Amino acid sequence: MTAAPATAVDTTYREAVREAIRDAMRRDDRVFLMGEDVGRYGGCFGVSLGLLEEFGEERIRDTPLSESAFVGAGIGAALAGMRPIVEIMTVNFSLLALDQILNNAATLLHMSGGQLAVPLVIRMTTGAGRQLAAQHSHSLEGWYAHIPGLRIVAPATLEDARGMLWTALSDPDPVIVFEHGSLYNARGSLPSDAGPVDIDHAAVRRAGQDVTLVTYGGTLGTTLAAAEELAGQGVDAEVVDLRTLRPLDDAAVLESVRRTHRAVVVDEGWRSGSLSAEVSARITEQAFYDLDAQVERVCSVEVPMPYAKHLEDAALPQVTDVVAAARRTVG
Amino acid sequence: MGDFRMPSLGADMDEGTLLEWLVHPGDPVHRGDVVAVVDTSKAAIEVECFEEGVVDDLLVEPGTRVPVGTPLARISTDGAVRAAVPPSPVTVSVPPATAAPPTHDEHVTASPLVRRLAAEAGVDVETVHGTGHGGRVTRADVQAAASAAPPAPKLRRPVTVPPERAEVTERRRVTPYARRLAAGLGVDLATVVPLGGPDEPVRAADVRAAAGGPSTPPAAAVDAPTEPAPAPPTTPPPRAAAAAGIRDTIARLMARSKREIPHYYLTQTVDLQAALTWMGDRNRELPVGERLLPAALLLRATALAVSDVPALNGFWVDGAFVPASGVHVGVAVSLRGAGWSRRRSTTPTGSGWSSSWPRSRTSPCASGPERCGAAS
Amino acid sequence: MTGRGLLHEMLRVRRFEERCVELYSAERIRGFLHLYIGEEAVAVGLMSALEPTDPVVSTYREHGHALARGVPMDAVMAEMFGRVTGCSRGRGGSMHLFDASRRFYGGNAIVAGGLPLAVGLALAARMQGRPEVVACFFGDGAVAEGEFHECLNLAALWRLPVLFCCENNLYAMGTAIARAQAETDLALRAASYGIVAWPVDGMDVLAVREAAHRAADSVRSGGGPCFLEMRTYRFRAHSMYDPERYRDKAEVQEWRRRDPITLLTDRLRAEDSLGDGDLDDLEKEVATEIDAAVAAAEGAPLEPAEDLTRFVHSDPVRTP
């Protein structure tokens, strides 16, 4: 940490993630990065470019295409005192490691009566918007948020991309970080001394009093744009970024909804059995008598994500969808 | 004396049918002996006893279905025998459910459905003791209150009719918050007209308008922190020799051997089944690196044949045949990407074939006979 | 460990499980109960070649592994009874025995699910410069799983210190190996990854011990992973609820003639290192230990239900 006064630095989401990894590797020699093409290739999204040269092959480990083996190896290494960061290219590929994530990482501590904690961090890309079609584009973080024993975080801002990783590594239990693929090129500025952030609380990204728009990750931009449009129509929307998808920060969501009496949940996942369903259910369970309208949801259309641009756009939550849903709640 | 009881053979087995006795009274039995066959409703399973002794009495006839734990036979035991374990189920104490927290509102909370039921039953919901979550009045509370009250002159709806399915269209749509607000402000919801039109639900603003109060809730203090919005994404992210010398040498040497050494070819068909079976059985007991390949058998056969027919093994020197002093069989193995190796045996009757064979770590040939086409 | 010591360990496992059958039949213990009876020589022989600091990864048929590793019988029995004094505080049961202090990384009930953990434990040992051998048990059924192949490849590629111990008892539950595997020579399949592999008579505890020493020495000295195909047989059903329609009684009887306990007893007697009364003494010692374990488990408390959700996450202390 530099003692010099902080200055704003122009950067990208990708660079913020890379800086977070670099920072963690420097802070703690138990930390290492492991995954497919994280080394020589520099990461399939360029996140780890240059780290192999700085830290060497022992700590920036290229793996074979064996999600189950290297995710499980991360769990085993964590059990034996290391602090692995395991990168999986996309959430769709993580299904090949689901056995290890659910049956071991999430389960070992409880199943062993508290003996075996798994301080593992798994990073993976999620989401659509880049015309990568149905096997690279889904938003399955809601599935993972279903699993007790895991902590699920979704950095939507540069600050969180830079700050969530170290906090996740400091957690004694497994944490999965979902990075939305459309965010890597997002530009912005960060203080030169940006560092760890909490991963316990949701954040209000825009204050308002007429309706609460609850979202996270890749749809935060869409939702903020919708809030601006609503402002032009005289509706003052509040935008809550969940940040952590498990455990959900119910208090933050409910505090907002109890003020606005209306809620719209925006989630790039499919609607049925989804994270948006969970958020919606919690609002009706805990703030039923504060609601002045039905809880609305804006989700992806329930199709495998198509390739063609116009079809992909039609499948994803758009600004107009969020605006329409918000208007339905204000009558 | 010990009992042989109907055993439990699975977490979901509560009873079983004795199908057959495999012992008779007077038979000696030992711990672990199979004594009966039991049908668990999934399958017939042979079951064992855990006593040492003599079968004294069979208590249950074949074909009888009995609960797990029922004594099936009495076994008399001599001397000190461990007491049979009685089937006492583990008791787990379950703590009582925590009392519902007191209701936080000064007025009774009840869902729209419950309020409608109460109205239909002639029950004043404000007087009902709520037993639901947070002290809320439930449907059961209303029904209890209704049945406790003297019969109303109006006919009550029979409880056998699922109320939520009956005449749903009659219900006014009022949001939960508006209902709560109306109760608090003393507004009769029947008098409230939705500002958005008759098809819209009654919302909080409608209730306030009817009450003549402020159009915004007085307590709605907006004091939320604001944080800079993230920059929206702009564009998608970007995606981002050879051992020629060795082969040259091999080619030259092969051409030379073809040129300078007389070649002759004999053909004989041999059934290799027995040899391959022998080899397979032998290989299974060896570390993989020490296993034989079919080519080894052929080489050994060649060496043995040449030993049997010395006229085939020798040199033509100065116009005369000179028998060789030993048998030299050569084989070259091409190692994928790692050059080649020569192996030679001079003791065809010895047992050095496997130990001199290339190890699996360096030779692709040990992985399977089909890869050995490169051997010469 | 002496021959007598090996016999003692095998008897502990055998008699413990026989008592478990009785307790299960009387509904004192529940869940699934996968018995190791017949395979004791593998666990006992292999563990005798390990150091106390060597991690062990096991399967759901792991009573023998746990006991041979040194997990106290009291703690294992209490776990079968679901008590808080159990080695997993009653959260694991028969299939999930753990003991972090003895580096026993437990009972994994997903076939082949433990192999990736073993690879990771070995990776950590290597990165931390500890000369450990990770012993990884699994059955022949695991060889059909993708995780088996991913892990053998990764362990061989990175030359990690894993001793793969395949307990080939010829049946994946009720499916005979030839009905499930195109190539039934399992050592051959391991060797295809460049791993030193050989078959071992898993009914002969001395042969197992000798092979385990050889393999462990090779692994510990940096030779990369080893694969031992332990040829063994389970005498009992797959679990309690198994009519055994998939194999002949004659086959079971044939294997029982090579009972590992009988084999070792006969050998020790032949070389005069086991006297007439010795076996009785061992049996009495084992019976006393089991009686004490059952009594302790029966008297042990249950985990309070209020602590149900404890250990879903670590107690809230932030490290490092």
| pLDDT, tens only, C191-248 | 999 999 999 999 999 999 999 999 999 999 999 999 999 999 999 988 877 888 899 9
C4-41 confidence digits (pLDDT tens): 999 999 999 999 999 999 999 999 999 999 999 999 99
- On the question of pLDDT at B245 being above 70, the answer is no
Give the residue with greater pLDDT, C299 vs B141: C299
pLDDT score for A126: 97
Report chain C's mean pLDDT, rounded to a whole number: 95
- On the question of pLDDT at B276 being above 60, the answer is yes
Alpha-helical (H) ranges within chain C are 3-25, 40-47, 63-69, 73-80, 115-127, 146-157, 186-191, 205-220, 249-256, 260-270, 276-299
- On the question of pLDDT at B235 being above 70, the answer is no
Q: Is B54 in contact with B75 (CB distance < 8 Å)? A: yes
Percent of chain B at pLDDT above 70?
62
Alpha-helical (H) ranges within chain B are 112-121, 139-148, 176-185, 204-211, 244-260, 273-284, 294-308
- On the question of pLDDT at B184 being above 70, the answer is yes
Instruction: Give CA–CA dist A74/A64, Å, rounded.
Output: 14
Of B111, B177, B230, the CB nearest to A221: B230
pLDDT score for B342: 58
Give the ipTM of the model, two decimals please. Answer: 0.92
Mean pLDDT throughout A141-163? 98
Q: Which chains touch C (3 or more CB pairs under 8 A)?
A: A, B
Lowest mean pLDDT among A151-155, A171-175, A272-276, B182-186: B182-186
pLDDT band at residue A19, thresholds of 50, 70 and 90?
A: very high
Secondary element (H or E) of residue C29: none
Residue of chain B whose alpha carbon sits nearest to that of A206: B226
- On the question of pLDDT at A3 being above 70, the answer is no
| List of chain B residues whose C-beta atoms are within 8 Å of the C-beta of residue C24 | 7-8
Residue B345: φ, ψ to 5°: -120, 135
Q: Is A220 in contact with A241 (CB distance < 8 Å)? A: yes
Residue of chain A whose alpha carbon sits nearest to that of C134: A76
Q: Which residues pair with B67 in a beta bridge?
A: B15
pLDDT band at residue B196, thresholds of 50, 70 and 90?
A: confident
Do C26 and B13 make contact, defined as CB atoms within 8 angstroms? Answer: no
Q: Please give, rounded to a whole number of angstroms, the shortest distance from the CA of C70 to a CA of chain B.
A: 27
pLDDT score for C317: 55
Give the residue with greater pLDDT, C174 vs B168: C174
pLDDT score for A148: 97
Is the pTM here over 0.90, yes or no?
no
pLDDT score for B368: 33
C106-149 confidence digits (pLDDT tens): 999 999 999 999 999 999 999 999 999 999 999 999 999 999 99
Q: Which residues pair with C229 in a beta bridge?
A: C166, C199
pLDDT score for B152: 45
Report chain B's mean pLDDT, rounded to a whole number: 71
Q: Is C228 in contact with C49 (CB distance < 8 Å)? A: no
pLDDT band at residue B107, thresholds of 50, 70 and 90?
A: low
Query: Which of 22-61 (A) contact B at CB < 8 A?
Result: 41-42, 44-46
Could you say which of A15, A36, A87, A136 is catalytic? A136
- On the question of pLDDT at B146 being above 70, the answer is yes
Note if A110 is an active site residue: no
Residue whose C-alpha is closest to residue C34's, from C68, C78, C64, C1 = C64
pLDDT score for C4: 95
pLDDT score for B361: 35
Percent of chain A at pLDDT above 70?
99
Do B240 and A182 make contact, defined as CB atoms within 8 angstroms? Answer: no
Instruction: Give CA–CA dist B353/B343, Å, rounded.
Output: 10
pLDDT band at residue B218, thresholds of 50, 70 and 90?
A: very low
- On the question of pLDDT at B314 being above 90, the answer is no
- On the question of pLDDT at B234 being above 60, the answer is no
- On the question of pLDDT at B102 being above 80, the answer is no
Residue whose C-alpha is closest to residue C103's, from C70, C128, C72, C76 = C70
> Token pair for residue A146?
């279903």
pLDDT band at residue B160, thresholds of 50, 70 and 90?
A: very low
Mean pLDDT throughout C176-189? 94
* Cis-peptide, bond into residue A191, ω within 30° of zero: no
B18-46 confidence digits (pLDDT tens): 999 999 999 999 988 899 999 887 788 88
Mean pLDDT throughout C52-81? 98
**Which of A61, A65, A110, A176 is the best residue to mutate to test the C interface, defined by the most C CB atoms within 10 Å of its own CB?**
A110
| List of chain C residues whose C-beta atoms are within 8 Å of the C-beta of residue B17 | none
CB contacts < 8 A (A, C): 151
Note if A238 is an active site residue: no
Q: Is B40 in contact with B9 (CB distance < 8 Å)? A: yes
| List of chain B residues whose C-beta atoms are within 8 Å of the C-beta of residue C194 | 360-361
> Token pair for residue B297?
């058998």
- The CA-to-CA distance between both ends of chain C, in Å, stands at 41
- On the question of pLDDT at B287 being above 80, the answer is yes
**Which of B177, B181, B216, B234 is the best residue to mutate to test the A interface, defined by the most A CB atoms within 10 Å of its own CB?**
B177
**What are the counts of helices (DSSP H) followed by strands (DSSP E) for chain C?**
11, 7
pLDDT score for C288: 98
- On the question of pLDDT at B351 being above 80, the answer is no
- On the question of pLDDT at C263 being above 80, the answer is yes
> Token pair for residue C62?
């792991």
- On the question of pLDDT at B163 being above 90, the answer is no
